[in-house]
Structure 1
Amino acid sequence: LYTICVRGIEDGGVVEKNIISSAVSRVLDATTEWESVLSVGRSNHLKLIISNTTEVGLVLLEEQVLNRVPESYPGKLLAVLYERFISLGSEASKVVVIATELVPNNGKVLHSIILELIAFNSLADSFIVWLNEHVYFCSSLVDRIIPGKPEQQLLKVIEEELGYTDDLLIMAEPYRLWAIEGNQEVEELIGLQGIDDGIVVQPDIEIFRELKVRLLNGTHTLASGIAFLAGIETVSDAMSHTLLKQYISDVMHKEITPSIPYHVDDAEAAQFAKAVVDRFSNTFIKHLWSNITFQYTTKLKIRIVPLIIQHYKFSDQVPEHIAFGFAAYLYYITAKEVNGVKYEITDDKLSYLNSLDQKDFVHAVLSDESLWSNNLSAFNGFDLAVNGYFNYITNNGVIAGLALLK
């Protein structure tokens, strides 16, 4: 048993509730209890396997998987599935494997690694036929902030409320989403229908990835430099700052939502944006803007550049809020201190950015296709707008710059 303390904002109201979870019945150590792990694979009670090895573990390691404990997670999974094939054959019940790693199409990636390992181990073609008939590999997207154990002061308050201590106690925000890519048979096999509104099973889950990457992550990225330069420490603190809160709302509704490169229902996007505001406002989670600026350049390329491209497909007007966010990013890269305090920048592109023409820095960065895979200065008015905001922030500060936006 362990305690999940849900704290945050949902539909504008404060949520404080505690859940005692009994989801974990036992833990097996593959290195010392491998036979017990294989015995699970031989059971027809097995219906669902969840892959949560992180993106670092979702890689191909060419290794033998039989008669030994494989080193990699995909190797262990293949060994368990092969043991199931040998033991149960056609009598085996179907199994759903759901990948949860932070990798696009994670289920397909895992499946492809398994197929490569089958070839490397020269396993029988009949096993591949069995795998195709008995195992579903599903991609999924998990979206929930789990900061882990609460800070000591809050933990003391919670333990007094609970009346007990729990070394496994964790915090979680109210928002939760587990979008699983699968058909009706997959939904029936995993048996989670109606368990929680946050669990969704449908054939195409790309819409959930787009909403998360653009409205949640993209807004985080655009606002991070602005908030950091303004001396605002956490995301929730920013929601108490009138101008920055307005920027976050406006950039989501006016520029990001219309520019998502995927068909999204307006009402669904608005509902997701509303949830983002609730999540940003959660004072129980100390999400530092300084951490969100990590790998700033790459995040802008992945999360924001596709929005700029899509925006200019239907408009020749500058997306002013996105342009301002880019200007804040460029100033963050060049300033290197806030209110006289120097800060460290964690960005793999920093050395390259420092090598560019500093006299015409804005144009040099925006026009560099090696950074963005596009010439951003070629978009009508974008270079001029970013340069104008960059100069204004340099001379007057980022908060004064926010006041210019309408």
Structure 2
Amino acid sequence: MPANPTLTRSNAPRPKVGIVHLGPGAFFRAFNAPFTAEAMAQSGGDWGILTVSLRSPDIRDKLKPQGCAYTSVTLAPDGAKYAVVEVIDDILVAPENPRAVLDRMSDPAVKIVSLTVTEKGYCYNPATGGLLLDHPDIAHDLAHPDAPKSAIGYIVQALNLRRLAGTAPFTVMPCDNLPNNGPLTRAVVLDFAHAFDPDLADWIAMHCRFPATMVDRITPATTQADIDALAAAQGYVDNACVMHEPFRQWVIADDFVNGDRPDWGAVGAQLVSDVEPFELMKLRCLNGTHSTLAYLGYLAGYETISETVADTAFAQFINGLWANEIIPTLPQPEGEDLPRYAANLLTRYQNPAIRHRTWQIAMDGSQKLPQRLLGTVADNLTAGRDIAGLALAVAGWMRYVGGVDENGAPIDVKDPLAAQLRAAYDSAEKPDGKVAALLAMRDVFTADLAENPIFRAAVTVAFTQISTTGARAAVTGMI
């Protein structure tokens, strides 16, 4: 029996490139790209996407043989649904030819540069929001502007080339889970530009736009089993396919250079004047509990989020966390019902077709914790509210970064501060000493929070309980 052929792109005309996207990972292919393809199908426009990998050729090597087409697979409880996406025009690997990337970004036809580069890709200090000027990639890019390594270096140099050529700037649209991601991106871009050329910084501040966004779609990592299942169902092999849940939500501040953007609103995006209430809702309700379930669920022996919340103790714990410690900190987004939003989140978590691994969500926790959990803690402390559940989540992270699970097996901790975290953890024998050492890490915890006696005591109690009885017993004790 012959092997299945590889997916090939159709002969349909390609739209001209209007967007350069940095970070062509699974989330971009499951979210931004389908939204844009559907917007063009609905309302037209030249919004083809040139994607840029800032590090690895892996995704390029999967997409290019397929003409940059790929399959978007919706994992619904009643079965998978398939759609081939053909909005990507090409993919470049930045280290192979930095100049080619800068040339495309400085093309006047490009109106938007969007990003999904994860929190660490912004090279910023989560505690202050400022650019880390001593970050190795940033220091390199300031010294070698024509061969950048970082997303920020590429954006600033491309804007510089456009200014020198008399071309209007593009809109910079971050799509990562960061609080106030538009203003934050503007701040780090301007920090870099000021260090490079103050006149350029003034030009960017005056003419460029940085709309904030809130993005939401659970996108598990694609496995070989997923690729095989697609081949069996559709009759072709697609090594670049992406898996995702049915739900999606995109809230965008409608602030673009010259108003140039695809008609995303025609296909369900919410174009608003203020993204922040939606962003905070999602960051704390979804991302905060996702991280909580990742650390505590992993320690309890669960591989996925759906398996974790199938345990009624974890489901009850998360419901209590939403009701008592998260929702009370949130401003009311227009048109949203916050308790219903939380209830819908639990339903999404319970979708057995989504195998979102706890280990995957646990990655880069030192970058995620300040946004996803610590801001909520601080607001509750200020208001005099309980933080016991959030303290257990933080303690779960601390136990996880210790690098050894409850059965004595090693944990593969993927985090830019993994070595420092493990050293802090190992620097003390007793739970209170381990907690104190980790709280002293200023890249994660502000001094005000780390030295707050209520927070310190609550995390120490929670960490001691996890270390003594295990994560599941600690969770059960909270309900």
Which of the five TM-score ranges fits, normalised by the shorter chain?
A: 0.7 to 0.9
Quote the Cα distance in structure 2 between the aligned partners of 1:343 and 1:69: 36
What pairs with 1:18-29 in structure 2 (closer than 5 Å)?
Answer: 18-26=82-90
* 1:171 match: 243
* Structure 2: distance between partners of 1:119 and 1:275: 48
Q: Distance in 2 between matches of 1:124 and 1:306?
A: 30
Q: Indicate how the Cα distance of structure 1 residues 25 and 258 shifts in structure 2: closer, same or farther if over 3 A, else same.
A: same
Correspondence list, 1:34-183, <5 A: 34=100, 37=103, 41-43=107-109, 46-51=110-115, 56=121, 59=138, 61-62=141-142, 72-74=153-155, 77-78=158-159, 81-82=162-163, 85=166, 96-100=171-175, 104=181, 105-109=183-187, 111-112=189-190, 115-116=193-194, 119=197, 128=203, 132=206, 135-147=208-220, 150-183=222-255
Rounded Cα–Cα distance in structure 1 between residues aligned with 2:98 and 2:466? 59
The 8 Å contact of residues 175 and 213 in structure 2, kept in 1 or not, is answered as yes
Structure 2 match to 1:322: 390
C-alpha distance 52-218 of structure 1, shift in aligned 2 (>3 A): closer
Over aligned residues, Cα RMSD in angstroms?
A: 4.3
**Cα distance change, pair 172–367 in 1 and its aligned pair in 2 (3 A):** closer
Secondary structure at the aligned position of 2:448 is classed as coil
Q: Is 1:341 the equivalent of 2:341?
A: no
Give how far 1:292 is off.
Answer: 3.7
Residues in 1 aligned to 2:247 and 2:239: alpha-carbon distance in whole angstroms: 24
1:241 aligns with 2:311: yes
Task: Report the CA distance shift for 1:26/1:245 in structure 2 as closer, same or farther (over 3 A).
Answer: same
Deviations 1:28-85 (A, max 9, x none): 7884995994698345xx54443556654775833687xx887752255225523762
Matched, 1:209 2:279: yes
Structure 1 position 259 matched with structure 2 position 337: no
Output the amino acid matched with 2:85.
Answer: S
Q: Which amino acid aligns with 2:211?
A: C
Q: Which runs of 5+ in 1 are unaligned?
A: 87-91
1:108–1:164 Cα change, 3 Å: same
Determine the C-alpha separation between the residues in 2 that align with 1:389 and 1:124.
46
Q: How does 1:270-285 map to 2 (within 5 A)?
A: 270-285=339-354
* Segment drifting more, 302-311 vs 345-354: 345-354
The alpha-carbon deviation at position 236 of structure 1 amounts to: 1.8
Determine the C-alpha separation between the residues in 2 that align with 1:35 and 1:295: 27
- The residue that corresponds to 1:352 in the other structure is 424
Structure 1 residue 251 displacement after superposition: 1.2
How far apart, in 1, do the equivalents of 2:391 and 2:475 lie? 12
Between 1:270-279 and 1:368-377, the stretch displaced more is: 368-377
The reply to whether residue 220 of structure 1 matches residue 294 of structure 2 is: no
Corresponding letter in the other structure for 1:98: M
Report which stretch shifted further, 281-290 or 365-374: 365-374
Contact 1:34–1:69 (CA under 8 A) maintained in structure 2: no
Gap runs ≥5 in structure 2: 1-8, 10-68, 124-137
TM-score (norm 1): 0.73
Give the Cα separation in 1 of the matches to 2:156 and 2:252: 23
Render the CA deviation track for 1:207-263: whole Å, top value 9, x for unaligned.
Answer: 233223322222123233321222112212112211112212221222112134x55
Give the Cα–Cα distance (whole angstroms) in 2 for the partners of residues 156 and 385 of structure 1: 47
Contact 1:41-1:80 at 8 Å conserved across structures = no
CA distance in 2, matches of 1:297, 1:42: 38
- Could you state the TM-score of these two structures normalised by the residue count of structure 2? 0.64
Match of 2:225, as an amino acid?
Q
Provide the aligned length of Structure 1 versus Structure 2: 382
- Tell me the equivalent position of 2:130: none
Contact 2:431/2:464, CA 8 A, preserved across alignment: no
Kindly name which structure, 1 or 2, has the bigger radius of gyration based on alpha carbons. 1
| Cα shift at 1:284 | 4.0
Partners of 1:285 and 1:339 lie apart in 2 by 26
Residue pair 1:106, 1:140 contacting (<8 A) in 2 also: no
8 Å contact kept, 2:403–2:422: no
| Residue equivalent to 2:375 | 306
For 2:356, the equivalent position in structure 1 comes to 287
The SS at the match of 1:341 is coil
Shift of 1:393: 4.2
**SS of residue matched to 1:374:** helix
Secondary structure at the counterpart of residue 16 of structure 1? strand
**Equivalent residue number for residue 189 of structure 1:** 260
1:111–1:181 distance in 2 versus 1, CA, 3 Å: farther
Offset of residue 332 of structure 1: 4.6
Moved more, 204-213 or 294-303: 294-303
* 1:404 and 2:477 are equivalent in the alignment: yes
